């Protein structure tokens, strides 16, 4: 019998369907067991007899493993390599961070994809930095000499404090809010959130010239000044200013053991002892700015180099390393004038002052998560997180953006 084209096509289609059904039938082989009175079916065909069936089920459902080969086997007796174990641990950490986050509790799995998706709050003239106190956000507005309190849940302005000349760095500590300011004889301002908005309190004693970055170590406040670091004791207020080894320090943070400051004069980050003496100086990229600590590493935006330095400062047990080191130098991912880093418990965000955007990474393994615009001329500068959203000061438009 002569085969026509239609018959050949039908035969080919039938063969394709049968082949796909054969593949599908091999994939749907599954083992079923009982865990806690619940019948569980897994896509694996080699775990029915395992005494650890329920643990294997938990590993599969949690995303720890997808099986071996084509996914139809688990290979329960096979030796696990160090490489595989690293993958298991990384996936476990990743899943626990995701599922335990506020984003999971509020079903907020999205990331704003454009400037039009940002919720905006109008604050003061040229907002520089923002910090979260556990309930509200505090924004330092440089040129209006004000500090704005914003409710984190919906971005509502709750009050504005005045008299903070050239407000810059900001830290929330001891139930108060402390702000650096003034260009000449540097000032430290304080706000008591339990009081109605009004003028900030100017604490006695001067800081170094042009104070900016600020941190709290549980006892004292530290500020990064033009060519020095000031250490402020409170109740009563006294200031010790250390200049040896510093040339234009910018950012400051506390990692639970030591104060660190970024130093633009020699493109380093410096680890300090309790007296302000430099214990270690680590070379970074050009013009290091405002860093953040993620519990293991310090992330430093290098504004002049369009890069981010990741500095390992703790060991696996959370103990300070005797000698910290640069773990990685991140480039690309939309970096353009990176200025401030923030951490939400899972991701790192870096503001791009020149690129009018923000860049995201996964903190656990430094995976880039993308670059997202904040709008032309917005000048994103400061950033923090409330554990659910990132908040970004848009110095070019006098706004606070919820990201």
Please state the three-class secondary structure of the chain as a single string: CCCCHHHHHHHHHHHHHHHHHHHHHHHCCCEEEEECCEEEEECCCCCCCCCCHHHHHHHHHCCCCCCECCCCECCCCCCCCHHHHHHHHHHHHHHHHHHCCHHHHCCCCCCCCCHHHCEEEECCCCEEEEEECCCEEEEEECCCCEEEEEECCCCCEEEEEECCCCCCCEEEECCEEEEEECCCCEEEEEECCCCCCCECEECCCCECCCCCCEEECCCCEEEECCCCEEEEECCCCEEEEECCCCCCEEEEEECCCCEEEEEHHHCEEEEECCCCCEEEEEECCCCECECEECCCEEEEEECCCCEEEEEEEECCCCCEEEEEEEEEEECCCCCCCEEEEEECCCEEEEEECCCCEEEEEECCCCCEEEEEECCCCCCEEEEEECCCCEEEEECCCCEEEEC
Q: Residue 206 has what pLDDT?
A: 93
The pLDDT of residue 29 = 61
| pLDDT for residue 23 | 43
Bridge partners (DSSP) of residue 270 are: 261, 281
Q: Note the pLDDT of residue 8.
A: 46
Edge-to-edge strands of the sheet including 399-402? 119-122, 399-402, 390-394, 380-385
Up-side HSE of residue 338: CA atoms within 13 Å toward CB? 32
Segments of the chain scoring below 50 in pLDDT: 1, 3, 7-9, 11-27
Q: What is the CA radius of gyration of the chain?
A: 27
The pLDDT score that the predictor gives to residue 146 is: 98
In sequence order, which residues have a C-beta less than 8 Å from that of residue 61 and are 6 or more positions away? none
Whole-model pTM?
Answer: 0.83
How wide is the angle at C-alpha 111 spanned by C-alphas 106 and 116, nearest 5°? 115
Q: Is the peptide bond before 372 cis (omega within 30 degrees of 0)?
A: no
Q: Which domains does the chain have, with CATH numbers?
A: 47-73+84-99 (no CATH), 110-402 (2.130.10.10)
């Amino acid at each position: 019998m002569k085969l026509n084209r239609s018959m050949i096509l039908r035969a080919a289609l039938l063969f394709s369907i049968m082949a796909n059904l054969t593949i599908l039938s091999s994939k749907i082989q599954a083992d079923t067991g009982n865990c806690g009175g619940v019948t569980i079916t897994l896509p694996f065909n080699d775990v029915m007899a395992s005494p650890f069936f329920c643990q294997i089920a938990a590993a599969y459902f949690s995303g720890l493993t997808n099986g071996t080969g084509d996914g139809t086997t688990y290979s329960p007796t096979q030796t696990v390599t160090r490489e595989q174990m690293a993958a298991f641990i990384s996936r476990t950490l990743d899943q626990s961070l995701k599922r335990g986050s506020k984003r999971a509790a509020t079903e907020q799995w999205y990331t704003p994809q454009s400037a039009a998706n940002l919720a905006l709050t109008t604050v003061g003239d040229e907002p520089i930095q923002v910090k979260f106190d556990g309930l509200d956000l505090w924004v330092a507005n440089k040129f209006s000499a004000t500090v704005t309190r914003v409710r984190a849940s919906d971005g509502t302005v709750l009050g504005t404090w005045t008299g903070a000349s050239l407000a810059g760095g900001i830290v929330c500590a001891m139930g108060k809010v402390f702000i650096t300011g003034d260009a000449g004889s540097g000032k430290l301002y304080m706000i008591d959130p339990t009081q109605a908005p009004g003028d900030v309190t100017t604490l006695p004693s001067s800081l170094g010239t042009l104070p900016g970055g600020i941190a709290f170590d549980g006892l004292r406040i530290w500020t990064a000044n033009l060519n020095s670091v000031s250490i402020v004791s409170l109740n009563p207020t006294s200031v010790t200013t250390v200049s040896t080894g510093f040339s234009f320090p910018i950012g400051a943070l506390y990692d639970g053991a030591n104060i660190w400051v970024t130093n633009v004069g020699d493109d380093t980050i410096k680890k300090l002892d309790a007296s302000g003496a430099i214990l270690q100086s680590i070379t970074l990229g050009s013009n290091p700015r405002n860093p953040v600590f993620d519990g293991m590493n310090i992330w430093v935006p290098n504004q002049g180099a369009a890069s981010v330095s990741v500095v390992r400062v703790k060991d696996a047990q959370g103990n300070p390393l005797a000698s910290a080191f640069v773990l990685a130098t991140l480039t690309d991912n939309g970096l353009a004038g990176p200025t401030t880093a923030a951490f939400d418990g899972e991701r790192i965000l870096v503001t791009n002052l020149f690129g009018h955007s923000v860049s995201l990474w996964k903190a656990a393994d430094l995976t880039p998560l993308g670059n997202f615009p904040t709008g032309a001329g917005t000048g994103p500068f400061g950033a923090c997180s409330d554990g659910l959203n990132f908040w970004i000061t848009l110095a070019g438009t006098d706004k606070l953006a919820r990201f």
